[in-house]
Amino acid sequence: MTSFAAVDLGASSGRVMVGRLEKNRVEIQEVHRFANESVRVGGTLHWDILSLYRGVLEGLKKAGPVESIGIDSWAVDYGLLDASGALLGNPVHYRDGRTDNVRLTVGDEKLYEISGLQKLPFNTIYQLAAAQGTPQFEIAQQMLLIPDLLAYWLTGEMGAEYTNASTTGLLDVRTRDWSAPLIAELGLRPSLLPPIRQPGDVIGDYRGTRVVAVGSHDTASAVVGVPAESEHFAYISCGTWSLVGLELNEPVLSVASRQANFTNEGGVDGTIRYLRNVMGLWPLQECMREWGNPDITELLRAASREKPVVIDLDDPVFMPPGDMAQRVAKAAGLQDPSPAVLTRCIVDSLAVAHKRAVEQAQQLSGRHVDAIHIVGGGARNELLCQLTADACGLPVLAGPVEATALGNLLVQARAAGVINGDLAALRTVLRETQRVVRYEPQIPR
């Protein structure tokens, strides 16, 4: 049985998972989990990247001997390095407000035509615009996205993995390489951006163990981990964010697609992740933190007995941390609501947002959907899964919860020659080994 280590970094925690594959069967085990706590310094919100790196090293030590290591994380954030390869400062958190009023010299229409990306104020392209003129930026020689930065510290090799690079706004969605004309028009130094590498490429060695590029944007790995039987599926990678969309072979770059704020991000094996970012479980996570982290099972059970109240969770007012319960209550017009009432409001609103995104994705792409796969932490939320099935009028297949780590591991295993085939073949392995719960839409009484 061959073992692989998947480093999976989320917005609130990181973990190292060990996957074991034998005869097209995969088993997975968490060997180390560590906190990912942001730090505000001088009014700017940062990631504590050195703490994350220490967690990675401790996890790899606990993982023991493995065939290879793969790293995935959230997108868009980066570190700047000087000429010696030293990090110039802690990476800034995408929830920091420094990009709130950034305006680019390139129009939205042209940006979409080149990158195909949904307009989000925290995309790397806006972060770099905000950083221009600062002392750090002026002496920086290289920009590395978070998984690439950690891989560099492990191996000494610099590069930019394609799926994560595709979220920066600087990659040409057609050529799948950095857009030299766009970079020049923005006044950025081309040398700041390292060469593109693909999922499955060997990055280098860490103490004699290969480090392999995977779908290093966690959603790219999560989509690999969707156990779909045909191409007619929608996926919802549900956690802090809900990434709702379809897997396509070509980008959708129409005016209607841009106006609907859909994004065309790179996927494994040259696929396109055609999706929208939906606020996800972030508002509920923040409320629970304010409430002292009550038992989620009991909270959802109580919420299921409450009446639905729907608000627009995609309103930017819900982006920053702090005072979330008060903001949700205000948006819903509720006076002193209980945690159960607010929870039902958030979950109902998220289910409606899922419906809206799934319907738009089908209309804009011309691809119809027979089922919706929910993967990630949200697959555990029975109330959300059922309400999403009800709202969409389609069956919801929930699981695996560990889709991101599984996708990471399967790409490594294929690179090692332990398993073979395309994405459909990888997903067959998942269907045969991972538990999936089916939710049928219920007719309202």
Per-residue pLDDT in tens (0 to 9) along the chain, 445 residues: 799 999 999 988 999 999 999 877 899 999 999 999 999 999 999 999 999 999 999 999 999 999 999 999 999 999 999 999 999 999 999 999 999 989 999 999 999 999 999 888 899 999 999 999 999 999 999 999 999 999 999 999 999 999 999 999 999 999 999 999 999 999 999 999 999 999 999 999 999 999 999 999 999 999 999 999 999 999 999 998 999 999 999 999 999 999 999 999 999 999 999 999 999 999 999 999 999 999 999 999 999 999 999 999 999 999 888 999 999 999 999 999 999 999 999 999 999 999 999 999 999 999 999 999 999 999 999 999 999 999 999 999 999 999 999 999 999 999 999 999 999 999 999 999 999 999 999 965 3
What would the two tokens of residue 221 be?
Answer: 């790995």
Look at the alpha carbons of 250, 197, 167, 391 in this order and tell me if their dihedral is positive or negative: positive
* Exposed/middle/buried for residue 221 (C-beta within 10 Å: 0-12, 13-18, 19+): buried
* Exposed/middle/buried for residue 42 (C-beta within 10 Å: 0-12, 13-18, 19+): exposed
What's this model's pTM, rounded to 2 decimal places?
0.93
Q: Are 160 and 197 in contact (CB under 8 A)?
A: yes
Phi, psi dihedrals of residue 364, rounded to the nearest 5° = -75, -30
Q: Which of 319, 337, 439, 324 is nearest to 389 (CA)?
A: 439
How far apart are alpha carbons 400 and 403 in whole angstroms?
A: 5
Q: Are 274 and 118 in contact (CB under 8 A)?
A: no
Provide the pLDDT for residue 444: 54
Structural domains in the chain plus CATH codes: 2-218 (3.30.420.40), 228-399 (3.30.420.40)
Question: Side-chain half-sphere of 387: how many Cα atoms within 13 Å?
Answer: 25
How far apart are alpha carbons 203 and 241 in whole angstroms?
A: 29
* Exposed/middle/buried for residue 374 (C-beta within 10 Å: 0-12, 13-18, 19+): buried
Continuous segment of H or E residues that includes residue 371: strand 371-375
How far apart are alpha carbons 374 and 10 in whole angstroms?
A: 17
Question: Side-chain half-sphere of 427: how many Cα atoms within 13 Å?
Answer: 19
Residues catalogued as catalytic: 218
For residue 340, the SS3 value is helix
Question: Side-chain half-sphere of 13: how many Cα atoms within 13 Å?
Answer: 12
Provide the pLDDT for residue 261: 93
* Exposed/middle/buried for residue 305 (C-beta within 10 Å: 0-12, 13-18, 19+): exposed
Residue-wise pLDDT for 204-240, tens only, equals 999 999 999 999 999 999 999 999 999 999 999 999 8
Supply the DSSP symbol for 73. Answer: B
